[in-house]
Amino acid sequence: MNQSITDQIIEEIDSNPEHDVLLARQSELEDKMRGMGIDRHWSGIRKAQDRGRSTETKSVRRLLQFAVESTAEGIREFIEEASNKKAGRHHSALKSIQMLEPEENALLAARVILDGVASGKKLVPVATMIAHMIEDEVSYQRFKQEDKKAYKWLRDREEKNLQRRPYDLTRKVMKANMESRDIDFENWTTQQRTALGIKLIEIMTLKTGLIKMETRYTGKNRTDKYIVATREAMEWINEENSRSEILSPVYLPTIMPPKPWTTPTDGGYWTSRVRRLKLIKTFNKAYLEELAEMDMPDVYDGVNAAQHTAWSINPNILATVRILWSNNSTLGDIPKADDYELPPKPVFLDREDYPRDQWSEEHLAEFKNWKRRASDIHVANDQLKSLRLQLSKILMVAETFEYEDSIYFPHQLDFRGRAYAVPMFLNPQGADLAKGMLQFADSAPINDGEGRAWLAIHGANVFGYDKDSLEGRVHWVEENQEAILASAEDPFNNRLWNEAEDPFQFLAFCHEWSSFQAEGWGFMSTLPVQMDGSCNGLQNFSAALRDPIGGAAVNLTPQDMPADIYQRVADIVKETVTKDAEQTEDADKQALALGWLKLGIDRKVCKRPVV
């Protein structure tokens, strides 16, 4: 019987004379992953606390779920008791508390309380904040009833904005949009708010045991009531933090081949210092147990072969990116070091004697234009922060492993059976910079025209010249060879690579092509030459059904020029929509067709529905 790929890999790992040394170093690395995860966990907690958003952390989120369930039960009991009283004044909070469902009241109250309760907050301001949020939510529900589409768009946008700006600003935006549509905004009295907020605090105190009211002396003959977490709540939070900090390691590449998968729960990393991976990313234990009983050697062989592939850091790309990053360059789509400047605020906004209801139409138009431009820049700056973080993470991992001869990427499968590298940011499936930063640790010689052609085809593809024939792509590289070699020699002053669709992968190709030209036949290449499928789902169907039409549309049959199924569908859709736009029998259909033609129908629009 032939030995399986998995058995070969296990034998190769066990027989490596440096196995024990590598395992000791790998254990140290996994210790580092665990430590980095703990640091990240506590850094996230501190940032959430600084923003007054402790309920965003894992430890408090579980506490929040318990608090909401118990408080909602208490709210229902309060409503029933207060509503059934035959005599006497009903509780002043009853009317307000009935405006939302018990779970909604409970969620808003618990969020406000738990977001800052560990440090202790005064009773009345917390009660007022709870009531304000419920009052606002009642208004937003009215907005939703009047204009569901506008409500959803604004609410989704403002939920994202809460990550970077205070709640009061979100409230102003929502209120202004409601007023512009003549939708009434709730305006409760101070007495209403205080009564509602304190009642919800009392209910949560009674039903959860997580908080208590404490009287403190705050000055001569003066006391104030505070809300503080109980000992049980703090123990819960501390226990959850202790559990969570070790469950969130920063997964890095390995310096020895990952542990081969032989069951759904035993592969990837080598020690218990990091959380054990599962072959399939799922929380369904029964499913994993079912898989453990199945004989699926091809699955294990495939995943193990992928994660057994040895990689290394491309020194040319790492050196270039270091210089670009340190010099605040934006070549290769490196994100700007500084945020975009906000547009100057209209002068009349600072005039206290010129309220909004007295603005002229010109001033109102100027204000709206300023708000729109400022909003666009805020969005762009948020994207910059994300891109900077991504780049710094890739650099950090690359610098950690730059002197390693070989690194590896443990793999998992998703629910569809697709394989993914576990380490984030720097991996062979990452963004352009991540792919450009990696090369194979093991080389292969280029001994003939076929090998040379495939290296050239890869270069043309990552530049973006991928719609020509294979021969045409090789010819394109030959025509541009002088600029390619110049980019490899001095990428800062020779910038053909910066024009590429994937600039860092193309720059890596420039270096490889330059070395090949210098050394000639026999050059040992380490550059990954990528091949991508054309709409894999249709490829599988066309292959299984032996469909010549579908096969030709997704490049399964020989042809001079590459087929583009998405553009083909786009052309047919555009032709059909154009006919609908030209007919006059159905005005609604015609208007819809004209709208689509104005928007534009291209391969990008059609790609997702085709896939």
Closest CA to 510 of 537, 480, 533: 480
Closest CA to 100 of 129, 79, 125: 79
Please list the rounded mean pLDDT of every run of 10 residues in the chain (611 residues): 84 92 93 82 66 67 84 91 64 84 90 73 87 89 87 80 70 83 85 90 90 78 82 78 69 95 93 89 89 93 96 97 91 88 82 73 84 83 83 92 96 91 93 96 96 97 93 96 97 96 97 97 95 83 89 85 86 88 82 86 85 77
Closest CA to 521 of 466, 426, 416, 447: 447
Per DSSP, helices labelled H in 520-564 are 536-545, 548-553
Closest CA to 562 of 485, 461, 486: 461
In SS3 terms, 183-200 reads as: CCCCCCCHHHHHHHHHHH
Closest CA to 532 of 554, 511, 550, 510: 554
pLDDT at 587: 83
pLDDT at 399: 94
Q: Please tell me the number of Cα atoms within 13 Å of 4 on its side-chain side.
A: 15
Q: How deeply is 286 buried, as exposed, middle or buried, from its count of CB atoms within 10 A (0-12, 13-18, 19+)?
A: exposed
Residue bearing tokens 């969130």: 248
CA distance 140 to 135: 9
Provide the residue type at 525 as one letter: S
CA distance 198 to 3: 71
For the chain, what is the largest distance between any 2 Cα atoms, rounded to a whole number of angstroms?
100
Whether 63 contacts 210, CB under 8 Å? yes
Distance of CA 591 to CAs 149, 255, 571, Å? 20, 60, 20
pLDDT at 88: 46
Distance of CA 248 to CAs 41, 101, 463, 473, Å? 7, 35, 38, 45
The radius of gyration of the chain's CA atoms, rounded to the nearest angstrom, is 31
What does DSSP say about strands 438-440 and 444-446: parallel, antiparallel, or unpaired?
unpaired
Whether 266 contacts 259, CB under 8 Å? yes
- Six token digits for residue 325: 């990053």
Residue bearing tokens 């799922």: 282
CA distance 282 to 320: 39
Closest CA to 140 of 109, 103, 106, 100: 100
Provide the residue type at 248 as one letter: S
CA distance 229 to 235: 10
Residues 6+ apart with CB under 8 A from 219: none
pTM for the model: 0.73
Residues 6+ apart with CB under 8 A from 23: 256, 270
Closest CA to 419 of 429, 432, 430, 407: 429
C-alpha angle 383/433/555, rounded to 5°? Answer: 105
**Domain ranges (residues) in the chain:** 52-243, 443-525, 536-610
At 523, give phi and psi (nearest 5°): -55, 130
Q: Looking at the domain 443-525, which fold is it?
A: Helix Hairpins (1.10.287)
Burial 102-139 (b: 16+ CB within 10 A, else e): bebbbbbbbbbbbbbbeeebebeebbbbbbbbbbbbbb
The class of domain 52-243 in CATH terms is: mainly alpha
Comparing 52-243 with 443-525, is the CATH topology the same?
A: no
Per DSSP, 213 falls in state E
Strands (E), 220-323: 222-229, 311-313
pLDDT at 477: 97
Residues 6+ apart with CB under 8 A from 91: 78, 82, 195, 199
In SS3 terms, 93-115 reads as: CHHHHCCCCHHHHHHHHHHHHHC
